[in-house]
Amino acid sequence: MNTIGVVVNPIAGMGGRVGLKGTDGKVAEARRRGATTRAPERARQALEVLSREADDLAVYAAAGPMGEDAARDAGFEPEVVYDPWAESDDGPPEDPGEAETTAEDTRAAVRALLERGIDLVLFVGGDGTAVDVAEVLEETGDETPMLGVPAGVKIYSSVFAVTPRDAGRIAAGFDAVEPREVNDIDEAAYREGEVRSELRAVVPVPVAPDVQSGKQVSSGSTESLAAGFAREIEDGRTYVFGPGGTVGAIESELGIDASPLGVDVWRDGEVLARDAAEAELLEVLEEPVTIVVSPIGGQGFVFGRGNHQLSPAVIERADEIAVVAAGEKLDAIDALRVDTDDDDLDEELRGWMKVRTGRFTTRLVKVV
């Protein structure tokens, strides 16, 4: 590979830690809640690996926080092909969180990149950004492969590397591509606890073991698992319940009015926080603390996808992490995965983890 195009959605993932479950149409609210950017740093991580592993690589990028800044920070001298601030006297904002970019900016950047005949579109964002990139590929009939650096809150598509550094390694050298799905969900419905996933495109993606699978929804009863967990609840212990149907079944068993796609805190029969953001979680946590999570079906992520409220600061307050999943769900997962934005914490979490699969049964699964 000789050329690569970089486009970053600088506000992707900002809504995660502050409990918004997405950033589409919610940037102002995310900022009001104190959200900080995530995508630019993850872009830099991917590009630093790429710069170490790829020789004589020409990099094209959108201006400022849309790709240029991260590329320069990683040691590249990118050629800027699109600048949404070209008509502005001030130029791109110094703070990426203040970037007022749109989906059309992403699409325009991708069109400009494709005109340069690049070998790969490396984009940074979530499913919405993936849809924008894929739409341009489809409308132009271009067969250039695309690869995502995961930075969004929700990532249902199978076009993303597992981690930013994996994305850099894959981009540095791949021999083949394969068709993969781009999916997106209705964020408004998602915030109300309903998942409406839609296949939006099928696009070429590099073949590599570190490209994640698409999210699958597991079927089957979790009643026995929930009942078994509930009967072992400890008095005086704070329980932090992550998103998802399996954890929601445990909450229902305990009589909690759960937020299906949010994070709830419960202790001694009392709900301390419902659908909480990171800051609220840190306020109400009282040791000892158990975090209860279930891996994403088909992908295996227990942290870093759809539950950014469970930040490193929150995870480090817990003395116990309880992973729960029905056996059928685990059968479709090759390993558990973490992507917390904290390399040291990710490394600490890796190894073998006990997963509760039923009323009395558990299984050891490796976190990679």
Q: Compute the distance between CA of residue 120 and CA of residue 320 in angstroms, rounded to an integer.
A: 42
pLDDT of res. 161:
93
| Partners of 320 in the β-ladder | 290
CB 190 within 8 A of CB 215: no
pLDDT of res. 86:
84
CA-based nearest residue to 259, from 271, 243, 272: 243
CATH 3.40.50 fits 3-206, yes or no: yes
Helices (H) and strands (E) in the chain, counts: 13, 16
Q: Average pLDDT per run of 10 along the chain, which is 368 residues long?
A: 91 62 55 68 96 91 95 96 84 68 94 97 94 95 96 83 94 92 69 63 89 55 84 95 93 92 95 95 96 92 93 96 90 91 95 87 88
CA-based nearest residue to 17, from 257, 303, 320, 212: 303
Q: Say which residues have a Cβ less than 8 Å from residue 232's Cβ, sequence separation at least 6.
A: none
In the sheet that holds 320-324, the strands lie side by side as 270-273, 264-267, 238-241, 289-293, 320-324, 351-356, 362-367
Contacts 24+ apart (CB under 8 A), 227-230: 227/253, 227/359, 228/356, 228/358, 228/359, 228/360, 229/253, 229/292, 229/322, 229/324, 229/356, 230/254
pLDDT of res. 217:
43
Q: For the whole model, what pTM was predicted?
A: 0.67
Q: Compute the distance between CA of residue 357 and CA of residue 328 in angstroms, rounded to an integer.
A: 9
CA-based nearest residue to 315, from 295, 298, 340: 340
Cβ-in-10-Å burial (0-12, 13-18, 19+) of 32 comes to: exposed
Q: Say which residues have a Cβ less than 8 Å from residue 206's Cβ, sequence separation at least 6.
A: 120, 145, 147, 170, 171, 174, 176, 177
CA 20, 25, 28, 32: dihedral to nearest 10 degrees?
-10
Q: Compute the distance between CA of residue 236 and CA of residue 234 in angstroms, rounded to an integer.
A: 6
CB 350 within 8 A of CB 367: yes
Q: Compute the distance between CA of residue 170 and CA of residue 210 in angstroms, rounded to an integer.
A: 8
- If one counts every other C-beta atom within 10 angstroms of the C-beta of residue 139, the result is 10
Report residue 186 CA to chain centroid gap. 16
pLDDT of res. 218:
42
pLDDT of res. 26:
56
